[in-house]
Amino acid sequence: MKLSNSLHENNLTSFDNDRVKIYCCGPTVYDNIHIGNARPLVLGDVLVRFFEFIGIKVDYLQNITDIDDKIIAKANDLKISETQVAEKYINDYLEDLSNLNIKKPNKIIPISTKMDVIIDFINKLITKEVAYESKGDVYFDINSTNSYGELSNKRIEELISGSRVEVNPNKRNASDFALWKKTKNGKNWVSNWSSGRPGWHTECVALIDNYFQSQVDIHIGGIDLKFPHHENERIQYLAATKKELSKIWLHNGHVSFNSQKMSKSLGNTLMVKDFIKDHGANVLRYLLLTTNYRQPINLTDDLINQSRIAIQKISALFKKISLKIALNEVTKNNDRPVDEDFNLKNYISQFKDLMQDDLNTPRVITLIEQMIKDINKQIDQKKLNNLLDELLEILVVLGFNFEFPKYDQPTLQLIREWDGYVKSKNFTKADELREVLIKKDVL
């Protein structure tokens, strides 16, 4: 399989492991997640599902940042505790994952539960003389390494200038970043430097080091985290272990809303829970998968509508098949197709090839559209083969959640009565039953 690796300027990196270790940065739980936050989560979900589909075992870790200045601010605004804020939005986050049909990672770890691990990791960096304590704070010394900036292609010289970095007299270098922050504001923990909280950049790398006890194969996140967050994660692990934190850094593109970057700070976010309520989870997933994960997405009403129509087309196909089977107008078997138009296509093989070529989901979407056309041809021939099963298999791997309509006996009776009236050209009665069946979402 080949994936674009941000560490090597998005050159495709191949690997053929039989077990894969994946890490994805989770949310800071001071608010609900928006569609931009959901993009790396869907990317990780599709990647995990595909690995499992081709027989690769996955160990998938995600963090939750449940200690942060933004959480403190939200708690002060609502006049409740930080813990209450974090618990509310953790529960909301897990509900969003479920509603998006995202498989839960093997482990989701709130940062507050691993403070001893984080403190130990910071001590390791101090022992290796790549970090230092200054008036209760602890900083990483970026001049202690020659590798800083290799992930983001940023030079230290660019960052040292006062115009780029806030000058802090407690730092050795202007661009040194905090591993531990002395504070009495909000929840804090006792360390041998001060009472305080860890820096954000240290949380993820300490969890990875503790959970996996080795580098990960794939580190997932949005392109906005590439610098400084991922750059700072990487350099800490490299300094601590002399190894790369991740073999592959997988970054997804921005999600903008009407050509403006979607951001909570800009106030133009579209929350996942609201989108699902209005359009459904399948529409959101389809929308995200029609663009290669590395490319930006500009969310517009037209794009949402196109995705909604595409999902309706798939749902209509399944409704049509259920209706035809109920009326005994089509039979289904699991034979390979014998019609030469279908026989040469080998859709599952094509699907695997496309997914192993840097998760080419836009081409997979095109493949699905062709499969729908072929299945409709089979329906016209009154015989379905395993092409339908292959379509269902691909949709499941992509994380879509469709169900074939199942009819109870009274509904089946109505369907057959309606069909009888249509065939006998009793259109008045047929129209009456048609309205009933439309309300039951059968037609």
Taking 80 as the threshold, does the pLDDT of residue 157 lie above it?
A: no
DSSP class of residue 142?
A: G
| pLDDT of the residue at 415 | 86
Cβ pair 441, 411 in contact under 8 A: no
Q: Is 24 annotated as a binding residue?
A: no
| pLDDT of the residue at 305 | 97
Q: Is 201 annotated as a binding residue?
A: no
CA atoms within 13 A on the CB side of 232: 20
pTM, rounded to two decimals: 0.92
Place of tokens 């016209």: 380
Q: Please, which pLDDT band fits residue 15 given cuts at 50, 70 and 90?
A: confident
Task: Give tens-digit pLDDT for 187-202.
Answer: 999 999 999 999 999 9
Residue 3: both structure tokens together: 């994936």
Q: What is the mean pLDDT of residues 14-40?
A: 93
| pLDDT of the residue at 160 | 55
- Among 291, 284, 276, 283, residue whose Cα is nearest residue 312: 283
Q: What is the mean pLDDT of residues 92-106?
A: 98
| pLDDT of the residue at 275 | 97
What's the CA angle centered on 370, arms 286 and 357, to 5 degrees?
65
Taking 80 as the threshold, does the pLDDT of residue 166 lie above it?
A: no
**Of the given ranges (9-13, 31-35, 86-90, 197-201), which has the lowest mean pLDDT?**
9-13
Cβ pair 58, 244 in contact under 8 A: no
| pLDDT of the residue at 162 | 44
Q: What is the mean pLDDT of residues 314-329?
A: 88
What percentage of residues in the chain have a pLDDT greater than 90?
A: 72
Task: Give tens-digit pLDDT for 270-296.
Answer: 999 999 999 999 999 999 999 999 999
Q: Please, which pLDDT band fits residue 332 given cuts at 50, 70 and 90?
A: low
**Of the given ranges (229-233, 349-353, 370-374, 411-415), which has the lowest mean pLDDT?**
411-415
Q: Is 25 annotated as a binding residue?
A: yes
How far apart CA 422 and CA 429 sit, in angstroms, is 8
How far apart CA 382 and CA 69 sit, in angstroms, is 63
Residue of 441 and 133 predicted with greater confidence: 133
What's the CA angle centered on 116, arms 113 and 120, to 5 degrees?
140
Residue 248: both structure tokens together: 């592959």
**Of the given ranges (138-152, 297-311, 353-367, 373-387), which has the lowest mean pLDDT?**
373-387
Q: Please, which pLDDT band fits residue 167 given cuts at 50, 70 and 90?
A: confident
Is 216 exposed, middle or buried, given 0-12, 13-18 or 19+ CB atoms closer than 10 A?
Answer: buried
DSSP class of residue 271?
A: B
Q: Is 204 annotated as a binding residue?
A: yes
Give the burial string for 360-378 (b: 16+ CB within 10 Å, else e): bbeebbebbeebbebbeeb
Mean pLDDT score of the chain: 91
Residue of 166 and 380 predicted with greater confidence: 380
Q: Please, which pLDDT band fits residue 343 given cuts at 50, 70 and 90?
A: very low
